[in-house]
A and B are shown apart, each in its own frame.
Chain A
Amino acid sequence: MANVAKKVSWSGRDRDDDEDGRAGETTPLLNGTGPGAAGSARQLTPSSFLRIGQLSNVDLNEEIHELETELPRQRPNEIPHNEKLLSLKYESLDYDNSENQLFLEEERRINHAAFRTVEIKRWVICAMIGIFTGLVACFIDIVVENLAGLKYRVVKDNIDKFTAKGGLSFSLLLWATLNASVVMVGSVIVAFIEPVAAGSGIPQIKCYLNGVKIPHVVRLKTLVIKVCGVILSVVGGLAVGKEGPMIHSGSVIAAGISQGRSTSLKRDFKIFEYFRRDTEKRDFVSAGAAAGVSAAFGAPVGGVLFSLEEGASFWNQFLTWRIFFASMISTFTLNSVLSVYHGNAWDLSSPGLINFGRFDSEKMGYTIQEIPIFIFMGVVGGILGALFNALNYWLTMFRIRYIHRPCLQVVEAMLVAAVTATVGFVMIYCSRDCQPIQGSSVAYPLQLFCADGEYNSMATAFFNTPEKSVVNLFHDPPGSYNPMTLGMFTLMYFFLACWTYGLTVSAGVFIPSLLIGAAWGRLFGISLSYLTKGSIWADPGKYALMGAAAQLGGIVRMTLSLTVIMMEATGNVTYGFPIMLVLMTAKIVGDYFVEGLYDMHIQLQSVPFLHWEAPVTSHSLTAREVMSTPVTCLRRIERVGTVVDILSDTSSNHNGFPVVESNPDTTQVGWVPLGWPHKGWLQRGTLTHSALLQVAGLRGLILRSQLIVLLKHKVFVERANLNLVQRRLKLKDFRDAYPRFPPIQSIHVSQDERECMIDLSEFMNPSPYTVPQEASLPRVFKLFRALGLRHLVVVDNRNEVVGMVTRKDLARYRLGKEGLEELSLAQT
């Protein structure tokens, strides 16, 4: 029976995630820091009245199943994907240094001067992050400009030709096919090569800075796919922008440079070895994210604040200063390269991929009377943003449930591209809004049915890259668009953008949101000036900007950083106040309905994301209820066979193991399951010791990755005694294996070696953080979140391990609509 259950579940997993298999080869540490299934090697259960909770179907041993039949059995079943799940796929990052003897020895060896070198290296890395991020931004910008220009010229020539002769349906087909084929390439590389490069990447980076290890998120391969994917999806005419992905790209660049090597390329430059751990890498990744924002919007301060807003739990003053430096370098690099490209070298006035242009003419000022109007726009933005998110939520849910095969995802992306072109074409075809071509700065004026010397006004909005359309909406003189055009455009683009976000292409949501907002904001401004009989202050461009801010704020719900980004992108500090008001209102109104787009997607991906605070009503919960128990422990000097068995036990794929040592005086018989030790372990020749039933005090904590390195280097007591080990293991050996530790399956341990002993005392972290059982959830949460922990051991008053709190145990509790909710764990 157990076998059947096992088979079903595991085959189910294999079938569902074929890319998971690939992930498994390279990132071995998948699955379950914390609560896996029961059936661990030894269970230290402190007292007999405590019973094992529910046992899942992935048990390996029959005995426990027999035992379990007495318990009220709720068969865990397969359920459709929903938002109230936590995936086992995601691991924590080790933001807390393992302070073992090796580490302490190394830190002691480094003298004051050496620390200074490390500090200088940090600055050098930050400068390099800035430079490379800027260069990548330039590359994207230039390639998009040229390819999109080529595409629009081809389509325009075709339309011009067929307008005279008839047969515009061919132009439509040409446009749709061009779009679909370009997007197909972009989607294929994402869906088949690196699915984590899909979307804007901001949710992923947010998770990374929060301390969740998303597989593959900071790989070089991801960067390449991301950059190509963005170019292709923008050129393919989707309702997307290239700004959001810059943040992800910047982060990947940062993670890559700070490690001084590329595992994908198998090149190790032997530099920056000191930074090869999660703690250091995280700091650089936040610098990279800041550099990305800064390159995307020409907003260095906004970039710093973005990193602050998204990853602020681990922060200090020097880090901020360094990050600011990286941001500045990034925008400066972008500036200088683009100025050379555009032919006016060293004119550093084109910061950012998107430049909102200058808002400093006289009529762009605002007065106190306009403040209520801005607030009203914020309300509208909040409502529209909430609508956008709600629609996107349903769509994403449908996509996760039904459109999970890569080929289907590619087909979907192609269809969206074709439909986007079609909608654009039909809108242009039906529009009779003609504007004189003279004195306007339209890049690809499309005449169609307009008189000679005029262009179709709808075409400026649709027949252009979204960035250019935004700038046009901000700056075109009043009267360039008629209200009907803007209204139709807003409506169509709203649904297109909503439909597009979440496709398997790499693309951002910033620009489409700005575009929707700018369109309705301009419409608002026009109607306002109509109502006020053309007052001078009702300049539509200003309202377009406010509308854009409101819409973007309503969708992504960022506050501080978005205000500064918008302020810097417009280059006008006096707009700070109205933009802030608008964003604030939009956030308040939007939060009333649904949460922000990024948070929503994080939740839909079942990521164990820790928010700032524990849920407000969770004070009644204590660590005892939150923790996972029983805990698989190791002894200070452990048999190799046991270690290997524990590590290769797929059902309890733990990553942290408390190291215990029995106190000789307090031997106590624990709860012994029926038929324990059972056949399974006997057959594998790992007879469990009676020691497991003794109560054992906590001595330290050791990670799976450390154990694997130890096994790989065969650091066994017997070999040391025989002088077989050439040298002592150093911290460098652990760093060299970082971040892709080999899976346990790849390590061969012979039958003889299984009988050897392994001494963990040198390698374990002798001072792990612990909490007593009575600590409340908010307290545990605060400790965990503030220190960026991965494992938090729960001990009783005799310092005996009773449980373990990991990220997933804390992330389970969430404030839902009906109060505190508990998420369930699922294999995804």
Chain B
Amino acid sequence: APPRSLRRVLLPALALLGLAAAAGPPQTPALELAQELAEELWSAGLPGDLPELEPECRSLLAAFAEGSAALTGCLGRRARPVRLCQGCHGPYRRLLAQYGSIARAVGNSSESHNCAKSILTSDRLQIVVTLSEFFNETWEAANCANCLKNNSEGLSNSTEEFLDLFNKSLTCFEHNLQGQAIDLSPNNYTEVCKNCNETYTKLNDLYNRLQRMNRQGGESAHSAHLCIDVEDAMNITRKLWSRTFNCSLPCSDTVPVIAVSSFILFLPIVFYLSSFLHSKQKKRILILPKRIQSNANLVNIQEKYS
């Protein structure tokens, strides 16, 4: 088994492996919550002839509440390691639809029964709008659109490919670590570096390629990022690779660099010295002004220089 310290590092990474297969979070708690909410909503009907929420509006609101609860749960559970886009695109899409149906829904013919109006804009807090804005912003910030298909159903091909490769390299790491002797010091991971180099390089290259493609595609600064899942996965792998395993050891060739740079830095000294010694100093020829000699106590330039 790998040493304890390594296990701690690897745990989050390896946990990803298991999660990749899981489609979504367990449904039951969210459903219960929504049920409760709906009941509350029904009981909160106002007495008398005061205007209250239309039944169809209530059901829309309940659906939205349910959807946002589900999405919140999903986001929270997938916060670390980040798998938001892969896991939560379903709930997000559903929530979008629910919000859309509220915004578009027109109740009965009369103006006052418009669901959109009564739910979205009839109070100061406008909680539904706030919630929906929050989800949208989070989604935007995570840049999830980048690794989903255009119709946002499922992951795009390049993302699938990347995750595939990512899983492969993690498996490779695990294998090689398991294969090692128990007593090896934690800093010696040469085996891993040697065996997994190929997969890692492939992964790295793919990531760089994705990034380049992305940069060429979009102009604005925002779309320059890949989606958070991919970025985070790459980050974890890179950290493991260069920090934990210490695999990327660049050759440092200090001596030639010092030699070349001191040669270049030496050149100006030679240049200035030689131009000081050999170049003829530029002389100015003084022209004496024609003017009346005055007794004024001025600094006489001629005296100064003669």
Contacts and interface: CB of A to CB of B under 8 A. Distances in A.
Q: Bin the interface of chain A by size.
A: 35 or more
Contact of B261 (A35, A422, A825): A422
A724 interface: no
Contacts of A107: none
Interface stretch (B23-31, B175-183, B250-258): B250-258
A2 to B, nearest CB: 15
A665 interface: no
Nearest to A12: B285
B160 to A, nearest CB: 22
Given A80-B283, A415-B267, A168 B288 contact: no
Contacts of A782: none
Interface in A405-438: 405, 408, 411-412, 415-416, 418-419, 422-423, 425-426, 429, 436, 438
Contact of B290 (A53, A79, A405): A53
B21 to A, nearest CB: 27
A157 to B, nearest CB: 12
Contact of A827 (B231, B253, B284, B301): B284
Interface string B249-284: 011110011011100110110011001100101111
A826 B285 contact: yes
B294 interface: yes
Contact of B250 (A12, A163, A419, A453): A163
Of B239, B248, B284, chain A has the most CB atoms within 10 Å of the CB of B284
B291 A418 contact: no
A74 B271 CA distance: 37
Nearest to A412: B271
Contact of B248 (A37, A77, A438, A452): A452
A824 B306 CA distance: 13
Interface stretch (A465-473, A550-558, A617-625): A617-625
B234 interface: yes
Nearest to B268: A415
B108 interface: no
B271 to A, nearest CB: 6
Contacts of A827: 284-287
A621 B60 CA distance: 95
Of A79, A173, A411, A621, chain B has the most CB atoms within 10 Å of the CB of A79
Contacts of B288: 37, 53-56, 76, 824-825
Contacts of B257: 168-169, 172, 425-426, 429
A823 interface: yes
Interface in A1-56: 9, 12-13, 16, 34-38, 50-56
A803 B251 CA distance: 78
A405 B268 contact: no
Interface in B38-75: none
A8 to B, nearest CB: 8
Contact of A824 (B251, B282, B293, B301): B301
A822 B301 contact: yes
Contacts of A37: 287-288, 290
B79 interface: no
A70 interface: no
A167 B256 contact: yes
A822 B285 contact: no
Contact of A438 (B204, B235, B265, B290): B235
A187 B289 CA distance: 37
Given A419-B265, A820-B298, A822-B298, A452 B284 contact: no
Interface in A438-456: 438, 441, 448-449, 451-453
Given A166-B251, A402-B276, A449-B252, A56 B287 contact: yes
A451 B253 contact: no
A74 B302 contact: yes
16 contacts: A12-B285, A167-B253, A176-B264, A344-B219, A403-B279, A408-B279, A418-B267, A423-B265, A426-B257, A438-B231, A441-B224, A449-B252, A627-B292, A803-B292, A809-B289, A824-B302
Given A35-B287, A55-B290, A411-B271, 9 more contacts: A53-B292, A74-B302, A80-B282, A404-B282, A429-B257, A627-B292, A822-B300, A824-B286, A824-B289
Interface of A: 9, 12-13, 16, 34-38, 50-56, 58, 74-81, 84-85, 88, 163-169, 172-173, 176, 342-344, 398, 400-405, 408, 411-412, 415-416, 418-419, 422-423, 425-426, 429, 436, 438, 441, 448-449, 451-453, 620-621, 624-630, 803, 809, 812, 816, 818-828
Interface of B: 204, 219, 221, 224, 231, 234-235, 238-239, 241-243, 248, 250-253, 256-257, 259-261, 264-265, 267-268, 271-272, 275-276, 279, 281-294, 296, 298-303, 305-306
Pairs A-B, 6 closest by C-beta atoms? A166-B251, A78-B283, A169-B256, A452-B238, A451-B242, A826-B284
